[in-house]
Amino acid sequence: MSEAREAPAGSGDAAPITYLDGLRLDRALRAGIRRLLAERDEINRINVFPVADGDTGTNLALTMGSIAAALRQQPSRSIGRLLIRVADAALDGARGNSGAIIAQFFQGLADRIGKRERIGSEELADALAAANRYAHDALDRPLEGTVLTVIGDVAAEAQRLAADGIADLARVMTALQARARESLEKTRTGLEAMRKSNVVDAGAQGFVLLLDGMADFVAHGSLRQVPDPGEVLPPEEELELPPDIEPADIEYRFCTECMVTGTAIDRRKLREALTELGNSMVIAGTRNKLKVHIHTNEPERVFEIAARHGSVSATKADDMRQQSRTVRQGVRAVVVCDSAADLPESVYEELGIHFVPLRVNFGERSFMDKVSLTPREFFARAERSPEPPRTSQPAPGDYRRVFEFLASHFEQVIAISLTSKLSGTWQAAVSAAERVRGGRVVTVVDSRSASVGQGLIAMRAAECAQAGLSGDALLDEVRRAVEETVCVGLVPDLTAAVRGGRIPGWLKWLAEHLGIAPMFQLDQQGRLVTRGIARAGGDLTAALARFLRRRLPPAERYRVAIGHAADPEAAIRLAGLVREQLPCKGTPIVVEVSAALGAHGGRGILAIAAQPWREPPAQPEGDQASG
């Protein structure tokens, strides 16, 4: 068994700890993870490098969450076997630049220690030296003044302590903790981004917190303790970022990641192929399994190049410009939706609306809707693909990653989902929300709509949030928008809709034989129902305008949005007809529908939604954000 160190630090009765085995490292890691999670919001606050997108704490928390899950498995007395498990979990769960570097750090430890049952101070020093090399080698352009500097200084201190013959690992860990703190403070002046903002490197801060918890446990803890990382409430302090960091300053927009699995993957060739696509590249892992991280404007090209080296999975691309805007908003609530909500990109940016992409699949190839596959690219690919496109709800981690980020910056997160009657997206969002801050921050609202209808609901919610509304008052306005928004549409060719199971085959047969085009509406329950017909050879655009008008409740003015699938001329004409027939607030919004909708409706879809317009109300006095 490992030695227990029951006496308090500094007491003369404390026996020296001369080795680490799997059990003690397990406990120490749990304590370290708990320390880091407790400060994740502070890490987000000081995140200014390499991009001021305020998510390093969230990314490290998600990475640590994967390690914590691995630690909950059957405990191992072998430190080597435990580190192999930890390194695999870190690689699978790594998020962001810092998460990928930490994963590679653990990979270096695991590879150097091998299958040893236990290690002493000399073996620890050798393992830290290897971890330092692995972490530096993971980056295409390693920069000092970051977490790499702290890792290097800790490794050098371990070598010095081993050379001095210090065998007590409690003393060793305490000395490494002190050296890490000194090194961390130096990152405040190392690079311009940190100097201008007077902060330390966020990734380095996370690494030091992890080490703090581990060192304190080794020095003062007992093996009878099993620390639980738990879930820590965010601090209530206001987030402030330096005023000179602007979203426009972010050269490469998407923080892009994927996993590459293969045999004897050539890391050098993969790195060379990706270099021209962006910066902040980190490639972590083994010869058979690599995690790729890069900041780029071309996520799909990254995935295509990665696919030449193995099987690609766990793809993601987070919009760092939008994240940077988010942390500067100064409001209490924020809105997020899935990519089925159709709005112009300018509206997403102006109102600070975030979205989680649905997945669009052509055979074995998977794309992120509106991120790695635009509507135009979708229809071009659909025409030449031998296999029809399929869609799937966002991956479970996609929602949670976005929710975690937003929950670290806002008191309230409102998620507007695609109607639950047509997709499992709502349930995926609910499941993720329950796992974020105990389900207290994120509220998922079923839009009971889709496309431009869902988009108008998200738009209304975001306008109210930006006007200062929050808590139950905001939720009441969102639910009112759900009740009042009317969304209708037509699908000239029902082939794709039948293939996807959204409408029955008999309706297609009937429409073709009678020469009619069904008019669809999303009803009050969110179901897609047929509410009218038009002559297939007639003026379908005009028929759709009349169809909408007959279904609207009286209102002084309406906000209108129109979505089209590769038919902008029809959409523009429809906008003109609607303005003639309805009192509209401004020009109707015209936008291409998402690839997720295009996959189920094909070319020629027209969707139109209308919502009574009113100014956002004031926040009631004394009303507080829910949760």
Q: Averaged over 426-441, what is the pLDDT?
A: 88
Which one has a higher pLDDT value, 398 or 168? 168
Q: Averaged over 517-535, what is the pLDDT?
A: 91
User: What are the φ/ψ torsions at residue 159 (nearest 5 degrees)?
Assistant: -65, -40
Candidates 534, 480, 521; CA nearest to 608 is 521
DSSP-assigned letters across all residues of 221-269: --TT--------PPP-SPP---TT--GGG-SS-EEEEEEEE-SS--HHH
pLDDT over threshold 70, residue 218: yes
Candidates 304, 342, 334; CA nearest to 489 is 342
pLDDT over threshold 70, residue 238: no
CA dihedral 58, 61, 63, 69 (to 10 degrees): -140
Task: Tell me the pLDDT band of 234, cut-offs 50, 70 and 90.
Answer: very low
User: In sequence order, what are the residues at sequence separation of 6 or more whose Cβ sits closer than 8 angstroms to the Cβ of residue 186?
Assistant: 145, 149
Give the SS3 label for residue 486: strand
pLDDT at 597: 87
Q: Could you report the per-residue pLDDT of 572-584, keeping only the tens digit for each?
A: 999 999 999 999 9
Q: Could you report the per-residue pLDDT of 29-58, keeping only the tens digit for each?
A: 999 999 999 999 899 999 988 888 788 998
10 Å Cβ neighbour count for 577? Answer: 20
Task: Tell me the pLDDT band of 2, cut-offs 50, 70 and 90.
Answer: very low
Which one has a higher pLDDT value, 10 or 175? 175
DSSP-assigned letters across all residues of 11-71: -TTPPP---EEHHHHHHHHHHHHHHHHHTHHHHHHT--SS---S-HHHHHHHHHHHHHHHH
Q: Averaged over 226-240, what is the pLDDT?
A: 46
- The count of residues in the chain is 627
Candidates 226, 222, 210, 118; CA nearest to 173 is 210
Amino acid letter, 199: V
CA distances from 457 to 119, 316, 448, 451, 477 (A): 58, 26, 10, 10, 10
DSSP-assigned letters across all residues of 170-221: HHHHHHHHHHHHHHHHHTTTTSHHHHHHT---HHHHHHHHHHHHHHHHHHH-
Query: Percentage of residues in the chain with pLDDT exceeding 90?
Result: 62
pLDDT at 87: 93
Q: Averaged over 77-87, what is the pLDDT?
A: 94
pLDDT over threshold 90, residue 93: no
User: What are the φ/ψ torsions at residue 470 (nearest 5 degrees)?
Assistant: -160, 180
pLDDT over threshold 80, residue 558: yes
pLDDT at 10: 40
pLDDT at 95: 85
Q: Report CA torsion sign: 443, 447, 451, 457.
A: negative
> Distance (Å, rounded) from C-alpha 489 to C-alpha 562?
9
Task: Tell me the pLDDT band of 364, cut-offs 50, 70 and 90.
Answer: confident
pLDDT at 249: 66
Task: Tell me the pLDDT band of 499, cut-offs 50, 70 and 90.
Answer: confident
pLDDT at 136: 93
pLDDT over threshold 50, residue 626: no
Which DSSP letter does residue 364 get? Answer: T
The DSSP H or E segment spanning 592 is: strand 589-592
Burial label for 524, CB within 10 Å (0-12, 13-18, 19+), is exposed
pLDDT over threshold 70, residue 243: no
Q: Could you report the per-residue pLDDT of 295-331, keeping only the tens digit for each?
A: 999 999 999 999 999 999 989 998 888 888 776 667 8
Rg of the chain's alpha carbons, rounded to an integer? 27
Place of tokens 């990382």: 229
Give CA angle at 597 (592, 598), nearest 5°. 70
Q: Averaged over 222-248, what is the pLDDT?
A: 50
pLDDT at 601: 84
Domains of the chain in sequence order: 20-220 (1.25.40.340), 250-324 (3.30.70.980), 486-612 (3.30.1180.10)
Q: Averaged over 370-381, what is the pLDDT?
A: 90
Task: Tell me the pLDDT band of 496, cut-offs 50, 70 and 90.
Answer: confident
Amino acid letter, 217: F
User: What are the φ/ψ torsions at residue 172 (nearest 5 degrees)?
Assistant: -60, -50
> Distance (Å, rounded) from C-alpha 188 to C-alpha 618?
42
> Distance (Å, rounded) from C-alpha 524 to C-alpha 59?
38
pLDDT at 244: 43
Which DSSP letter does residue 384 get? Answer: H
Place of tokens 């549409």: 489
pLDDT mean across residues, the chain: 88
pLDDT at 624: 52
Which DSSP letter does residue 310 get? Answer: S
Q: Averaged over 84-108, what is the pLDDT?
A: 91
pLDDT over threshold 60, residue 8: no
Convert 504-517 to b/e letters by CB count within 10 Å (16 or more is b): eeeebeebeeeebb
Q: Averaged over 287-300, what is the pLDDT?
A: 94
pLDDT at 14: 66
pLDDT over threshold 80, residue 502: no
Q: Averaged over 63-79, what is the pLDDT?
A: 90
Q: Could you report the per-residue pLDDT of 585-595, keeping only the tens digit for each?
A: 999 999 999 99
Q: Could you report the per-residue pLDDT of 347-358, keeping only the tens digit for each?
A: 999 999 999 999
Which DSSP letter does residue 455 get? Answer: H
Task: Tell me the pLDDT band of 242, cut-offs 50, 70 and 90.
Answer: very low
Which DSSP letter does residue 457 get? Answer: H
10 Å Cβ neighbour count for 580? Answer: 8
Q: Could you report the per-residue pLDDT of 244-287, keeping only the tens digit for each?
A: 445 556 788 999 999 999 999 999 999 999 999 999 899 999 88
pLDDT at 11: 40
Q: What is the 3-state secondary structure of 534-564?
A: EECCCCHHHHHHHHHHHCCCCCCCEEEEEEE
Q: Could you report the per-residue pLDDT of 110-156, keeping only the tens digit for each?
A: 999 998 999 999 999 999 999 999 999 988 888 899 999 999 999 99
Convert 320-333 to b/e letters by CB count within 10 Å (16 or more is b): bbbbbbbbbbebbb
> Distance (Å, rounded) from C-alpha 301 to C-alpha 371?
12
Least confident of 31-40, 184-193, 395-404: 395-404
pLDDT at 191: 92
pLDDT at 51: 80
Least confident of 275-284, 465-474, 493-502: 493-502
